[in-house]
Amino acid sequence: MCCNHESVDLALLEDVLASYANVKGSLITILQKTQEIYGYIPIDAVYHIAERTGSTPAKVLGVATFYSQFRFQAVGKYLIMICKGTACYVNGAERIIEAVQEELGIGDNQTTADGLFSLSLVSCLGCCSLAPVMMINEDTYGSLTPDKVKKILRDIREKEGK
C-alpha cells in the first residue's frame, strides 16, 4: 500500500472542500491544498475527499498516485533533493546519492526513523553549473563530493542535537 494509515484532523480540510468539492475538475487543486495542510496526502483524507466530491477513493487515489508531486507519507524536517540530470550525472551524482544513502540509511522517497531527513531523487534542480548539486529545503549545495555531503549531513545532525 502506498500510504501510512494514521488518523488526521479532517476538519482542517473543511475550508478547501467548501470551496472546491462541487467544482468540476478541481480534484488536483483539492489534493494540492490537502498536501499543503498535512505535508502529504493522508489515506483518511483520500476517503474524505472522495465522499465529499462524490467520487470514489480509487479515483482520488488514482489521480494522486499518477502525479509525482503528491506524497503519501510525511517528509522529514530536512528534505534532501539530489539532482540526477545530465550535468550532475556526468559529474558524479551517483557517488553523491550513495554517500547520502550510506550516511542516512535511506533510499529515494524514504525518511529516516528519527524523522529528520527525507531523500528525493529529482530530474533537475536547474543548477547545472554547480553539478553535482543537491538542495536541502531551500539551501543549495554544489560542486559536491561524497565527503562534503557527509559533512553537511553530520553538521545538520549536530545542530539538531541528534
Domains in the chain: boundaries: 10-66, 78-160
Q: Tell me the longest C-alpha to C-alpha distance in the chain.
A: 53
Give mean pLDDT, residues 118-138: 94
pTM: 0.70
The pLDDT of residue 71: 87
Q: Which tens digits make up the pLDDT trace of 28-82?
A: 999 999 999 998 999 999 999 999 999 999 999 999 999 878 888 888 999 999 9
Q: Is pLDDT of 149 > 50? A: yes
Here the cell at position 158 is 549536530
What is the predicted pLDDT for the residue at 114? 93
Residue 128: pLDDT over 90 = yes
Three-state SS at 119: strand
Q: Which three cell numbers stand for residue 13?
A: 480540510
Q: How far apart are CA 53 and CA 40, in angstroms?
A: 19
pLDDT of residue 96: 98
Going from the C-alpha of 70 to that of each of 16, 76, 93, 99, 100, the distances in angstroms are 17, 15, 24, 26, 23
130 and 85 Cβ atoms separated by less than 8 Å:
no
List, in sequence order, every beta strand (DSSP E) within the chain. Answer: 78-83, 110-111, 117-122, 134-136, 139-141
pLDDT at 1: 40
Euclidean distance between the first and final Cα of the chain, in Å?
A: 30
Look at the domain 10-66 and name its fold.
Arc Repressor Mutant, subunit A (1.10.10)
Torsion angle defined by CA atoms of residues 132, 135, 136 and 139, in that order, rounded to the nearest 10 degrees: 110
Give the Cα separation of 119 and 152 in Å (integer): 14
Q: Which CATH superfamily is domain 78-160 in?
A: Glutaredoxin (3.40.30.10)
